[in-house]
Structure 1
Amino acid sequence: MRLNSIKLSGFKSFAEPTNFLLPGQLVGVVGPNGCGKSNIMDAVRWVLGESKASELRGESMQDVIFSGTTTRKASSRASVELVFENNDHRAGGAWSRFTEIAVKRVLTRDGTSSYYINNQPVRRRDVQDVFLGTGLGPRAYAIIGQGTISRIIESRPEELRLFLEEAAGVSKYKERRRETEHRLSDTRENLTRVEDILRELNGNLEKLEKQAEVAQKYNALLGDTTLKQHQLWFLKRSESEADQARVRADGLQAVNDLESRTADLRHIETELETIRQAHYAAGDQVNQSQGRLYEASAEVGRLEAEIRFVVEGRQRVEQRLATLKEQVGQWATRRDDAQAELETLAEQGEDAEEKAELLAAQVEEQALQLPDLEDALRQAQQKAGEQRATVTQVHQQIQVLAAEQRNVEEQSRQLEQRRERLSADRNALAAPDEARLANLREQLEESQEAASEAGARLHDLQESLPRLDDERRGRQQAVNAESARQADLSARMEALKALQDKVKTDGKLQPWLARHGLDGLQALWTRLQVEPGWENALEAALRERLGALEVGRLDLVRTFASDAPPAKLAFYSPPVAGAPAGDAALPRLIDRLRLHDAGQRALLADWLHGRYTAASLEEALAARAQLRPGESIHVPEGHAVTAHGVDFYAQDSEQAGLLARAQEIDNLEKQLRAQALIGEEARSALVRAEAACADASQRLVAARRDATEAQSRAHELQVETLRLGQLAEQVRARSEQIAADLGEVDALLDDLQERRVTAEARFEELDMQLADSQERHAQLDERVIDAERRVNESREQQRSLERQAQEATFARRSLESRRAELGRAIDTAAQQAGSLASEEARATEELARLSDAAAQGGLQAALELKAGREAALGAARSEYDDLTTKLRASDERRLQLERALDPLRQRITEFQLKEQAARLGLEQYDALLTDAQADLEAVARSIAAGNVRMTGLQGEIDRGNREIAALGAVNLAALEELGTARERKTFLDAQTADLVEAMTTLEDAIRKIDAETRELLVGTFNIVNGHFGRMFPELFGGGNAKLMMTGEEVLDAGVQVMAQPPGKKNQTIHLLSGGEKALTAIALVFAIFQLNPAPFCLLDEVDAPLDDANTERYAKLVAAMSKETQFLFISHNKIAMEMAEQLIGVTMQEQGVSRIVAVDMESALAGL
């Protein structure tokens, strides 16, 4: 398998259709930098399937399309085609039977990328399958780009292993392993989904089992906790009753003690007030004396400060006068020194001025001579350059003519060979069987239709399975939510019913009703239906009448006078007609009731006569002016407004809220019936969703298998059909093409003969021109050398004079600057001397003004006044202190009495609080026991029988309540749900076992593939290592090298290169030079070639880092390997160019557009 040609069109800089013919085994590509040589390598990478733009030296894949120049428009598409000769049938897959394979890739501006094999559209993967195991590919070791050699040798061990895998041909094993892993991944996903369902189901099973246990514990815990609660309340009630009597007696004794101590306190307070008034007067006298003393002290301080200021001022002025005298002397000395230096510098400045003028004149004279010498040099250089251009032009003409002549000879030889090949091809053409081709096309249509149907089924199942799984999860969540809601509703309704039953069966009235045979009668509230929101209003209006019992005749009630009911109780007998309607224009409360019994309606109309309704309290207050005596307006909250008052309603007993609870119980019963239906529907939907999910999983596995088999069958038939169809089309087209090509070859041979004769005559003419031009060029070169010498001498002399003139000028300017600086210094000294003299005079005047005589006289008088006021203050303070002592003693006696009263008051308050707490406790526990309908005698007997103590009883109750609360809501349907869940678990367990078995089978297949791959890699590594150890000394002229595995597991281990050139003992290849690294990488690549030679190899400036000696060894090795492998290399090295059998020159005469010129080196050398 060899590469015959590379066809480019619109790819990067190859704007025009360009055909690289590669007839030889060693083809070199040459040309200047930037002409587009490396674009050929990029084209091969691209057509073999490269999809990463950075590997093609671009930012996006659109960069491979010719982007235009200043004179050309951009191309709309890029096309690259590789034409292979496959006589050895080395290509992979169904295309191996073709003797010629054309692989083509086309990319358009809209991003559409298409692949073709023999003009048949294929996938990118099909192109890669053709070259599997051949060492070819977009990033295989057979394509070595710029800098790739150094990257190979410096690659990480894991990256270097990829080259070894490609050489070993394990690509097909990796592909099989990848497909198996994909199927294994799908199986694991299915297993994960089933396990998720199982985990969720196991959680539900555990929950259901726990709920069944909870139902059994609930009743036992509730009964035990209720009994202990009643016992605790009874014990606390008895304790509160005893505490109340004891605390009341202690409180009376404390009140008597408080009244006695209060009388003693009032006597002490009267005595204390008299002493306090005298103490206030003495304090005022002390404050006045203290103020007068402060005034005298302030005057003394002021005079002393004035004297200190005068003394300190005189000292400061005297120090300043001494400093000024010293500074006047220093400035006088500076002025004299500057005057002497100024006279010396005046003499030096005159000498510097004379020297600078003399050097300036010499520089000017030398500058006038230099232009003439430079003009003479330019004229000589111009003539020599013109003659050199003439010689170069003649040389180029001769070289172009020689290349053209070699090209003519090569083209003639190629045309002769082409004519022979065309004749042989025409004789070897054979058309395929048309009947077989038609049969294959029918089979292909059927298989494609089957594959399409299987793919559609697989796609539908892949989309439906996640949806079904989500639906199953949603159904499960719905079942859980509905069960929880049903339990909440049931618990709420049971609690409300228990409360209603408690009201119905009043503990006090029930025995009395049973005794009189009235226990079967229903209370009035059980027959009422109230408009929602008005229950409290009706309860507030009817009060005890809500529990009234209906009797046929009210005369029966007379018999109850001797045996009155033990609690409030009302009876009624329905009247025939109700009371008349009121006169107020307001909504009536009776209208908020829905009654079907006329007697009851008449009764309630009488009871609710004059009772109206309003939406709010504000509205009722606004309408109260319409009410008559005895009438009222009721609001939804139960409050009532009369003409002159407002009654606020509050639920003050257990019977409060009867109607609202009854309404809520009716609503809850309806909701429970609806909720039961909803829960059953949710559970049915869950079962259906789980069954659908499991069935979809099984159908997905089968559909994936069917789709894979159908696609494989369709692909095989498509490849075979394409092959036969293309073969038939190729035979026909090839016959026509051969005839046209033979005619074209004959015409080209005649044209080449005419060009050969013309070129020989032109050779003789150019040889004569070259000899004459070279002789004239030598003479002109000697003239240029003499003129350059004279110009250089003149320039050097001028630079010396200019440097001396600059130095003289600098010295003169420095002297002038110093003289100006000294003048300024003299002026500054004079100014400073004058300023200091003025300051000295001002200081002398200030010293005369400073005197402290007046302040000394005033200070003595102020001290005498201060002493007198200090004596008066001492007397006032003595009197004040005596009164303070008396006041403190009286106040202490008062405080002692007050402190004695506080404990008494606190004791009285404590006794009152304790007595109130005991009373409230007694009432509270009575109410709790009554509300709980506890039998006090039975509770007392249980306490006595069990010797129950209050200590620890509350802890037992709390523990019982916590245990009840911990049980949560009781699910009565737990057993039925538990059976359904267990049946479903059995089905899922069986499905899990099937999936685990499938996973085991796939894992065994992966292990078998790994074993085969491992064996192949080990063998390949040993062979490549041997070739590498042999080729390294051959390229380096000595030394040794080897490959090493970096891990124990062959499939994961990297490959590390160890190389030691002759005379070196380095431990790592990173210590080698760039050329040594490149040569080591070349040895490694060629060692891989020895194992599995690629059909062709592309080398892009691999020899760039090599010196001449290494390049020669490299060239010899490449030439030797070209017997097995075709080489296409790019190089700027002359030694590498010499080994080429054919040179392809890439030029860019038009900016941005690459073109080629091909030369056969053997034919060209044979013609010289």
Structure 2
Amino acid sequence: MVRLIQLKLAGFKSFVDPTTIQLQGQRVGIVGPNGCGKSNIMESVKWVLGESSAKEMRSENMDSVIFNGSENRKPISRASVELIFDNSLGKAPTEWSQYAEISVKRVIEREKGSTYYINNLAVRRKDIADLFLGTGLGGRGYAIIGQNTISQIIEAKPEELRSYLEEAAGVSKYKERRRETEFRLRDTRENLSRIQDVLNEIIQQIAKLESQAVIATKYNELTEKHKFHQAQVWVLKKRDASIVWKKHQSQVEKLVNELEQQTAALRKIEAEVENLRQAHIDASDEINKNQASFYEINAEVSNIENNIRNQNELLERSKKELIEIETNLAKNADDQLKFAKDIEEAGIEKAALSELYKTKEENFNSLKSSIQSVEATYLGSTEQFNQIANQFQSTQEKINLEKATIDFIHKTEEETNARITFLNNEISNIDLTGQSLLEVKESDLADKRSHVEKIEAKIDENKSLATDLEEEIDTLRQRQIEMQKELSQIEGEIKTLAQIQDDTQGNESLKSWTSQHNINTSNRLWEKLKIKTEWVTAIESALGGKLNAVLAQYETISHRPPASMVLANLNASHTYKPKNNKLNSALDVIEISDPLLMNLLSEWLSDCYIIPKGESYKNFIGNLEQGEFLVNQQGDIFTKNSVSFYGKDASLNGILLRQERLKALQEKFPSIEKSYKDVLNKLSEAELQLNDYEEQADSFGEELKDALNAFHQTEIEVEKIQQSITYANEKHSNITNEQNELKAKLTQIEVDKTTKSSLIHNLENDAHRFLEQKTSSEEIKKRHELEYESARKHVNEAEIQLQESHFNLKIINNKINELNNRINILTEDNNTLNNKKDLAKASINTESIEALQLSLREKITVKDEREKILIASRDNLAQKETDLRESEQKRLQTEQAVHPIRDKLEQSRLNEQESKLLFEQFQNEINESQLDEVVLSESITEKTTVKEVQELCNKLQEEINLLGPVNLAAIHELTSEKERKGYLDSQVEDLTSASNTLEDAIRRIDKETRDRLITTFNEVNKNFTEFFKVLFNGGQAQLELLGEEILDTGIQVTAQPPGKKNTTISQLSGGEKALTATALVFALFKLNPAPFCLMDEVDAPLDDSNTLRFANMVTEMSKNTQFLYVSHNKIAMEMAQQLIGVTMQESGVSRIVEVSLEEAEKMELAN
């Protein structure tokens, strides 16, 4: 069996940080204060095993198991839980038994759902469930008991209680297999039904396709002929297109030469235009150059004029600035004198303040030194007072504690005396009689057991008969399916053959013609013939279309029928006999009793003779007379000078053989149909008989239920009497022992009272002495405190005066620094003003203005000269433009003469291209026909015209149209449908066999499941009773079946604690329900130990004595099962081999700590 050794959590509920819990023992306790996350550990195990209900996780949805944040932490988006199992013994299911350790992990991401892993391999949730199927840890398992849910196990519905039993019996996997088998059986039957429906459709489809295939063959032949003649049309059109193409090519060459001559003249004129255009460009460049020179000298004149104007403005500004600088220098000198005087006065004030500061500082230091001795004396007296006060307080608390203990001892003494009095009354009321009543009830119980066994024997006999009948019904149903299949096939084949035979009657237009002439077409020749089988093909070949002749009297024919047709008017006036006695007549292989019909056949076959099987026509050809012919069994016809090999005619091929097959099937169908009805009747009778057996089984079941109820009731009464006797004896013994214990307890109480009274007297003397010392010490402390406060006040006042003196000194220093800064600023400002004064004097200069005026007069002279040159360049450019315009006009006239020639050339080229495209189109049509062009050309002459061949194509197209809609895929579909029919026939056989196999498997699974459940029920019932008596120290409990069939009946729990007569579970107290459910769970564990068991505060409703029995039983069961439990009870903690503490020091975040029993007790006290 695998053992849980490690649990890893990350992001699951309050375990936000990655947490690993090592599980080292068989009994692991989890302790901690309320709300710290203990139950989250239990739920994490349940969650990783595949729990899908958010309600079971105490959440609104499954994403709520992800840590959702706290005061100091943000929410996260992922949670995971992983279980590590020790599989060193290889007890895991076969697929995983090879691994020493098995890891089961579940990961959930917000809004993405869960993923599951086994040994880091991604698996389905179903794979996790299968791994623990039958171990008590499944979806309906009993090994995970949540908080406040222990009693729900015995209060569950009867069907849910049965699921616990199934899990313990290990039949969960059998039920899963049966469910899957039922699904497969249902699917198999549905597939079989669908395939049979498809087979019937295919049989009908084959019949249609056979007639369509004949038409498709004829269509293909006509299409091939039409394709050949159409290709001849393309060859003829190609020949005509080639002549036209050559004609257009010649015309294009002529126009090309003419266009080239005109183009040469145009090029000469264009060269003259280009030369003139270049001269025009040169003249434009010249004028641009002169114009730029003119603009340049004009700009220089403007610049000199602007400079003269700017120099005059600068002279005026410099004069004004020089006056302003002189004024500012005078003001700065006055300010400097004022600031120097202020600095001198501030220096005198600073010296006085410095002297005062030194005096204040010496006074403060003196006072600070004197207070230290006073403070030390005060602190010493305070400490001495606190020590004495603590001693007094401690002694007083001990006195209160001992007095409370004395009160508790007095109360215990009173309770013990009252208990002794109660026990004396109880022991006098015990009834030790009842053995005689027990003997009477045991005899009654034996009689009822015998009655139950008789009814069970009747049920077994009825069940055996029903089983045999079920097998017979299965055989009849299989026979019904086979016969139904055979009937469907025969019926489909009859319809198909009849439809094919009906198709030989002709099309609608022919039927209309015969109706106009009052000719009955239902009487056909082939219907009357009976031919030896081996000569059917020979006679079909010899008669040809006459085989489908209409045997009818007719008078005059007003007009021809719309299609080929043979009418045979039976007439006895002419008799024809074979003329050649050397040969075997074809009439010899035909059996006809009607003399008129024989005369008709004699007329048609009087010259037809047969070649015996295995003989060559050469042996008989010499005996033929004029007009006679031979036919062999293959239908080949031989005359003196020719041979005609038989080819199957589409409409009449196999018509005689089909007719024989149709008659045989029609004769066979009634007998098979009768047999099918007989099978249906037998099946109906057997099913009625089976219903009778089932009704008898229900009757026997009710009778057995009543007998069992009576038996169980008597059995309970016997057990109650036995329990009453045992309880009375046990109670007498227990009361006697308890009386002795209580008397010893009273003796000990007297000793404790004496000891405690002496201790309280001593403590009160100590308290009085400490109180006197406390009063004296308190007075000394108050005196020293007043001296310390007075000295402290003088020091504070001296410190304030020192701080004020220091502040005043700092202010005067700041004032002196500020005045020095202002003097420095004024000095820098004077330097700047002097520099500006020098620059202003230098700028007052009139010589530069006179030089600029002289340069201006020179530039104006140059400007006038360049303006004259620019005017001459513009006149030259105007003349060049006139010459260029005249030359362009001449070029346009020549170019217009070229356009008509080019248009004619383009049109000729289009005509040539069109004829080329026609030629290529016809060539492509020939290529697409995939026929040899040489063969096509040889098949036509020079005189052959397109019209002649096209008319032939149209005629063939009309014949194709007369065929009507044609299913070209019919031939391929017919082959495909026949192959499909063969495949489906094999599928029907396979599915029938599979259905039988699955039904047998279900019967075997039901039998094995029933046997296992009955055995498990008896064992669990026995264990349940034993554990109940241990946990309750007596009493009676058992499981009861509510019905006859254990596979689908419910189970209920009955429990009676010692001395009680409960009738229902709901009458039990909370603690009794918890103990009863625990007994049932342990009963299941004993039979099928789970790898581990989770219990969340299961012991919460139990008192100490019941908790002790519960702990002892868990210790015993832990030999085979690992227990992981949450508890606040000290007794439950003591049985743990390992204690795990859960704390929540950080709000909303759980952490794991290893704790000892003492630490666990402290945690519970804090809780």
Please indicate the TM-score interval, normalised by the length of the shorter structure: 0.3 to 0.5
Q: Normalising by the residue count of structure 2, what TM-score does the alignment of the two structures yield?
A: 0.40
Q: Which has the larger radius of gyration?
A: 2
Q: Normalising by the residue count of structure 1, what TM-score does the alignment of the two structures yield?
A: 0.40
